[in-house]
Amino acid sequence: MRRVVSLVPSLTEAVAESGPGLLAGVTDWCTHPADLGAAVRIGGTKNPDVRRIVELRPDLVIANEEENRAPDLAALRAAGLEVLVTEVRDLPQAFRELDRVLVGALGLTRPGWLADAERAWDRAEPVGSVTAFVPVWRRPWMVLGRDTFAGDLLARLGVRNVYAGHAERYPRVPVEELAAAGCGLVVLPDEPYRFTAEDGPDAFPGLPAALVGGRHLTWYGPSLAEAPRVLADDLRAAA
């Protein structure tokens, strides 16, 4: 049995559901499933305790090029650890990377939830057609730009990101520009910034706001199987 350290919350959930007992270490942000057994907490995604990870002597460290810092991954490799780095910019790539981690690297049988997720998204239908912007941070305001996994999921549900053609993936945009963008909707996830009904919609009075769970919008793992339905319900609620 391979010992795994996961530096990515969504991959932590994917491994925990598909290969119980494999996880030796996880980040402080790994919240699903609720019971991660004996897995040791090794810090955050951006500030993992490299020394503690090395002490755990994992056979594999799984990471993501966007969520984790290159210097930390380089330090883990320099210590002799094998590090697998995923890259996820859209839904098909997410499915390929999950196969690469779970089946290719860990030798697991392809999990049923992964097939369920593929079927769920194959059947997903747009809830309408609306132009939106999607803040991911408030101080300063930052939004989804080009080539993002979350943007791809929303597009499949009929939500066109007005900043999808921006040169940056997560541009900083003044709130005045966002308010004047002429969109029909603002989509507010609860991570990485925790937007709520009291914190977010207030900046855009009169504009419908869809409050969505970050786990369903940004995680690539078991939550993908229910994400089309849950996100569609959240979008309809804002109409």
pLDDT digits (tens, 9 = 90+) for 200-237: 999 999 999 999 999 999 999 999 999 999 999 999 99
The CATH-assigned architecture of domain 4-110 is 3-Layer(aba) Sandwich (3.40)
User: What SS3 state is found at 6?
Assistant: strand
Residue of 219, 221, 186, 181 whose CA lies nearest to 200: 186
pLDDT at 1: 61
Residue 5 neighbours by CB under 8 Å, 6+ apart: 23, 24, 25, 26, 42, 53, 56, 58, 60, 61, 62
**Nearest by Cα to 85 from 143, 161, 24, 8:** 8
Domain 125-238 coded CATH 3.40.50.1980: yes
Does the pLDDT at position 70 exceed 70? yes
Q: Does the fold of domain 125-238 match that of domain 4-110? A: yes
What is residue 146's predicted lDDT score, i.e. its pLDDT? 96
Task: Judge whether residue 88 has pLDDT over 70.
Answer: yes
Average confidence (pLDDT) over 102-114: 96
pLDDT of residue 81: 97
Query: What pTM did the predictor assign?
Result: 0.93
> Is residue 128 scored above 90 in pLDDT?
no
| Average pLDDT over every residue of 63-84 | 97
Report the alpha-carbon distance of residue 230 to residue 226 in Å, rounded: 6
Residue with tokens 């066109």: 160
Q: Where are the domains of the chain?
A: 4-110, 125-238
* 106 pLDDT above the threshold of 80: yes
- Least Cα distance to 158 among 63, 48, 69, 234 occurs for 234
Short-list 231, 141, 136, CA closest to 180: 141
